[in-house]
Each structure stands twice: as C-alpha cells, then as structure tokens.
Amino acid sequence: MSPAHVAITGLGAVSPHGVGTDALWNGLLAGRSCAAPITRFDASGHRVRFACEVPDELSDRLPRRLQRQTDPFARYALIAAEEALVDAGLLTPDPRAVRQPVEGVDADRVAVVIASGAGGIDEITTQHQRLLADGPDRVRPYLSIAMPLNMAAGQVAMRHGLRGPASAVVSACASAADAIGTGLDLLRAGRADVAVVGGTEAAINPLLLAGFDAAGAMSRRNDDPAAASRPFDVDRDGFVAGEGAAVLVLETAEHAAARGAAPIAWLAGYGASNDALDPSSPAPDGEGAVRAMRLALTDAGLEPKDIDHVNAHATSTPVGDLAEATAMATVFGDHRPAVTAPKSSFGHLMGAAGAIEAVVTVQALHHGVVPATLNTVHQDPACMVDLVLGHPREGVLRAAMSSSFGFGGHNAVLVVTSAAHDLHDRDR
C-alpha cells in the first residue's frame, strides 16, 4: 500500500435494486435485471417505455422539510451519504433529523464532492409545466435550491455539518468517477482528512429520455426490457436508463488509522483524459480511454498485469462497447482480467454511474467475487474481453479498475486495491 493510497471506509447506495449496499450487491449476485415498464410518468407515447427505477418511495427516510426542499437526485444522495457515514463509523443515524452532525472528526476537514449529470431535472420540467399552465406566480419558491447540480453536495454538507470544500463535478457519464478522483486529490493535497464522494441521478424523465432516444443512444426493446441491456453482445442496440446514488467515504491512511477505522479497500489511482474528438461518440480506437487507464495505473504504481478485475463502463451501445473493448485490449494485451458490466442489471445511472460502479468494485474486492454480466448471449468477436457470464466468479482479487466515459469525450478511470491482500506478495 503506497502512502498516496487513501482508505475507503464507508459505502452507501440507493439503486434500482433498493436502498442500501446490501440490496445492490445481493441483486447483482442474484443476476436480477431491474428493467421494467416506466411508472414514473406516462410513457405510452414514447418509443422507449422502460427503465430501471428506484423501487422505494423513500418518503419515510428523510424529514418532510428536506423532502420539500429537494429534487429526487438530492434525496437519493442524502440517503446514500447517511449510509456511507454510518458505515464509516462517523454518524449515529436519525432519519427524522434535518441536522445530523458527524462524530469524532474535525468537520472543517471533511470535504464533499457529489456529482450529477442532470441535477434537478424533475424539478425543472415540473415547474416549467406550471409556468406554462398557470403563470409565473405558481412556480414554487424551492425551485432555486432544488434544481442546481451542486445541491446534492450542498444538502449533504448542511445535514451533516461538513464544513470543508464542497462541490459538484459535471462530466456527463464520467461525472461520479471524476468526483471520486477529485476527493482523492483533495486528500493527497492535504486540503481535507475525509472526503464524502460519489454521484447521484434522477433522470428517468420524459424530456431526457426522449432526447437520448432521439440521439439513437437507447435500446427500444419494449417487448423484453429485462434483456434489453446487452453489453458486448452482437445484438446490442443502446443503453437502458437507471437512477439512484452511491457515496463513498475516503480518508487519508493516517486519519483512518488514528481513529481505528479499518479500510474496506484502498483507492489507489485515478486517471482522466478527453478524446477531444466528438460530442457523443468515443474515439473508435479507444485512444482517450487508453490514456485514462494508463494514467490511473501509473497513479496507483501498478502495471496492467496487476489488475485482476475490470468493472466496465459497457453501456450496450454499438460504438461505445467496441471502443472500450479495443482500449482494454490495447492496455492489457495478453493479460485478461475478469470483466463485469453491471449496467446490464441496474441500468445506466449516467452522472452517478461511476459511483455505483465504484461501490460494486469495492464489494467485488472485499468479497472476492465478480458479479456476472446479464443478457450477453452472443459476445461480439470484436469485443472478446474475459466477460464473466452465467454465474458470479470467485477468486482472489488484489486490484481492480472501474472505468467511466461520457458525452463530451470525457474518460475517468479509478484503480482500487484490496485491504485484505497485499499486492506486493504477488510474483511480479
């Protein structure tokens, strides 16, 4: 473990599998698809009429004041952050309390970086409809604090009295991975001792889904939603929308040791790049992804052969999956880490994708299990990564990579190492 690595001491999640990291992990291991007809709005006029929705109403998990103030994207973040802080031993939970100050740390030295791609899109579209139907006097006053992208981080900081740097990162579907990398950088720079990081998204919204469908990015398998997301399959035809949030608590190794907190895993490296090529399509040869992967490996002080597992971005789009598989072939060569593509189970959480997949990556390392990818029946010969199919794969996992790529050419890659297995024991 390098001194530059930081401890991951807490995890929290709200996902289409339910509330909590246990629900997320158990759903993945069970091989359950969350894709089903949309209930969030009347989708009968849409070409895409299914998604992966958060199943719980959540009204009993936050005080009414916070529910009134917030868009669902911030609510998801608040619930995930509470679980992560409790998991890290920094909080005694009280879901009814508007204020829940953290315990046993200097709150001035706790940063919050929580990303989103769309922010308060439900608030924006709902209040716009009210404006058009009833006039400006009917727009609710909470609009100004419910819609901004920064308000997930802001609300989490306010609820828990976290007075260090607080911000949002926006880089499309790479946003949450970049937020986690930003937290890593803050800790390494000495600007904080603890960082509450992650991403959140509540974008199952008629406007957004119509727009992504118009761009040709979404699967239209309305007759079989559960099998619609087909990563690396020859018949893949686009992504399936998901929603939720995931939050990780990061600490410097010294801070975690001083308070007796045992790391779940280590965040070892972060790499970011931009294709600088096209607004919506990746570089066909995956060149930008290759640079981000190599930067993350260098940052972690590791070589490609050290990576046992890759949590792939794998949105099930024809061009995206091919570019990612090409990038992995370039980086890893003959080495074949076990690959999973969990969007086949819980959908594409867009701005939150990098966070929920980082949580899954940490769980895979912690349990020594790689969840299986769903729905890949005929793997594309041009995408012949070692994809875990059929059943979860058990084994000793010392280091893993989680990749996230987004519109705008954004590439963000994280490297996580096991807290239980010393990578330096390996014959290198």
Q: How many whole angstroms separate alpha carbon 359 and alpha carbon 354?
A: 9
Counting residues of the chain whose pLDDT is more than 90, the rounded percentage is 94
The pLDDT of residue 4 is above 90? no
pLDDT of residue 243: 98
Spatial separation of the C-alpha atoms in residues 140 and 220, rounded to whole Å: 35
313, 366, 383, 410: which one is catalytic? 313
Instruction: Give CA separation, 276 vs 178, 253, 330, 406, 410, in Å.
Output: 17, 36, 19, 12, 8
- Give the per-residue pLDDT at 424: 54
Give yes or no: 5 in active site: no
Per-residue CA distances from 267 to 136, 169, 181, 373 (Å) = 48, 18, 9, 24
Contact 202, 76 (CB under 8 A): yes
Q: How do residues 323-375 score in pLDDT, each as one tens digit? A: 999 999 999 999 999 999 999 999 999 999 999 999 999 999 999 999 999 99
Catalytic residue among 17, 255, 309, 348: 348
Instruction: State both tokens at 67.
Output: 């529910």
* Structure confidence by residue, pLDDT tens digits, 185-222: 999 999 999 999 999 999 999 999 999 999 999 999 99
Helix (H, G, I), strand (E, B) or coil at 105: coil
Q: Is 69 helix (H, G, I), strand (E, B) or coil?
A: helix
Please determine, for residue 428, whether its predicted confidence score (pLDDT) is greater than 50: no
Distance (Å, whole) CA 187 – CA 112: 11
pLDDT at 192: 98
pLDDT higher than threshold 50 for residue 106 = yes
What is the Cα–Cα distance from 36 to 49, expressed in whole angstroms?
A: 8
424 belongs to the catalytic site: no
- Structure confidence by residue, pLDDT tens digits, 239-294: 999 999 999 999 999 999 999 999 999 999 999 999 999 999 999 999 999 999 99
**pTM, full prediction:** 0.97
Confidence bin at 412 (pLDDT 50/70/90): very high
Which of 34, 52, 173, 383 is catalytic? The answer is 173
Per-residue pLDDT at 113: 98
Instruction: Give residue 95's pLDDT.
Output: 77
In sequence order, the β-bridge partners of residue 173 are 171
422 vs 72 pLDDT, higher one: 72
Sorting pLDDT into bands at 50, 70 and 90, what band is 94?
Answer: confident
Place of tokens 């789009």: 317
Q: Is-catalytic flag, 378?
A: no
